[in-house]
Amino acid sequence: MAPFRKRAIIFCVFLAVILWRFAGSGSKSFYFTLKRTQTHTETPASSTKDGGVVNSSLWTRLNLTETECATAFPGLFTDITNNIKNGPFIFAKANPNYQGLVQGRIIDGNRLSTLSQLHRALLTSPSHLPNIHFAFVTNDVPKNNSWAFARPNKSHSGNIWLIPHPAFWASPLPPLHPLDTILSRISTLESQTTFSQKLDKVVWRGTPWFNPLAYPLLRQHLLKATKGKEWADIDAFDIGAKGEYRNALPIEQFCGYRYVVYTEGVTYSGRLPYHQACASVLVMAPVTWVTHTGFWLRPIWAGDLMGGGREDGGGGEGGETLVETVEDWREANTVYVDPKFEMLEDVVMFLRRNPEVAETLARNLRQSGVGTGFLGPAAEVCYWRALIRGWASVVRTGETWGDEVGVRYEEWILREVARGK
């Protein structure tokens, strides 16, 4: 998300982040420490007459207590809870040549965005957080015993802990913007546009050569299936001589369409949380990678939606998945189609004939991300702090860790800016 206004902090905070780049200029692995000491006071919850917490009043507060977080955002911490159930594990220092790995530790309390998110969660915590060693991966492929932006959509896929996408802080990509900025624009669009007023087409933009291993021609199949169709506004990016996207759509304008297609990239795509803010019908091939917002998906197979039974078209990985499908369209917020998109036209025609079904799917999608507050700033910092507590409860630090010394976090940030990072 975009940097928030500086909030009045009622406790003293000392935050030092120590960085040390491992050997080799080509390596992207480095080590740092976040350290904080503080005094604090607990913030009382806003209560209803019957003693319950008014969830929506908490959705923008960054200093929620652990109890307030759990009450305000039930179901947000599914991945953390699942990993805790797997039990203790040994966390040792990894090979410094592992590309895209950040190793660090918290003492007393795309990497720049992620470190900034973590900084914010620590800074605004109203209570003490445990000391931990940890690692997170900034590239597409996760590493065991680490934090990552995505993990395979399989119930048994290693000890990988999901973290929020960097866009929750800011996005370096010109077509996108910090999530909170886009959420505000989407809210304006949705408040001024009914579902029936939206463009009655399915929309997608992207680069056709980024595809997941399970579906190596996913985006090419999408372009082929929709070419020349009156019901589709789907196109590959037209990249100009200076690298600009000449036919790109502002990400909030996707919500102006009734149907939005989401495609995974090499693993996941960072667009998912933006699309989850739309009151539109989200359509996709079965996800093979799950992000921290992916747990909010409640997909229904196109065949089940239209009454013909499941027809996934193959290509995905079998076995039990983390993202579970539903059979009742009233509970769904996403539609699964085959990875060749051969059923996409049938789905669009079905939804045109059954607008009440389409509106329910669209309403459910926006409710799952915006109506729950899950995409808001309070949920994000609550998630980070729950992650730290959960990780601390099962991590066992190996003997390879020492007392490396580096520079303060604030100084490192200035150096990164000066270097144009």
DSSP-assigned states of every residue in 326-357: -S-TTT-SEEE--TT-TTHHHHHHHHHH-HHH
pLDDT at 104: 58
Q: Which residue has the higher pLDDT, 56 or 346?
A: 346
Q: Quote the CA–CA distance of 305 and 351 in Å, as a whole number.
A: 10
pLDDT at position 82 over 70: yes
pLDDT at 375: 96
Q: Quote the CA–CA distance of 297 and 78 in Å, as a whole number.
A: 13
pLDDT at 371: 95
Task: Kindly state the average pLDDT of the residues 388-400.
Answer: 85
Task: Kindly state the average pLDDT of the residues 40-68.
Answer: 61
Query: What percent of the chain shows pLDDT beyond 90?
Result: 51
Task: Kindly state the average pLDDT of the residues 249-258.
Answer: 97
pLDDT at 410: 73
pLDDT at position 279 over 60: yes
pLDDT at 232: 98
pLDDT at position 390 over 80: yes
Q: Quote the CA–CA distance of 104 and 136 in Å, as a whole number.
A: 9
Lowest-pLDDT choice from 69-83, 250-264, 315-329: 315-329
pLDDT at position 33 over 50: no
Q: Quote the CA–CA distance of 153 and 137 in Å, as a whole number.
A: 17
Q: Quote the CA–CA distance of 14 and 12 in Å, as a whole number.
A: 7
pLDDT at position 309 over 70: no
**From start to end of 222-347, where are the E strands?**
232-236, 257-262, 281-284, 289-290, 299-301, 334-336
215-250 confidence digits (pLDDT tens): 999 999 999 999 999 999 999 988 777 777 778 899
pLDDT at position 20 over 60: no
Lowest-pLDDT choice from 29-43, 196-210, 233-247: 29-43
pLDDT at position 45 over 70: no
Task: Kindly state the average pLDDT of the residues 42-60.
Answer: 52
pLDDT at position 277 over 90: yes
Task: Kindly state the average pLDDT of the residues 56-81.
Answer: 88
pLDDT at 55: 60
Q: Which residue has the higher pLDDT, 145 or 225?
A: 225
pLDDT at position 340 over 50: yes
> Of 156, 335, 365, 137, which is closest to residue 273 (Cα–Cα)?
365
Q: Which residue has the higher pLDDT, 89 or 271?
A: 271
- What's domain 179-371's architecture? 3-Layer(aba) Sandwich (3.40)
173 pLDDT tier (thresholds 50, 70, 90): low
Strands 151-152, 289-290: parallel, antiparallel or unpaired by DSSP? Answer: antiparallel
Mean pLDDT score of the chain: 81
Task: Kindly state the average pLDDT of the residues 316-344.
Answer: 91
pLDDT at 407: 62
Q: For the chain, give every domain's residue range.
A: 16-148+375-418, 179-371
131 pLDDT tier (thresholds 50, 70, 90): confident
386 pLDDT tier (thresholds 50, 70, 90): very high
3-class DSSP state of 182: helix
pLDDT at 198: 99
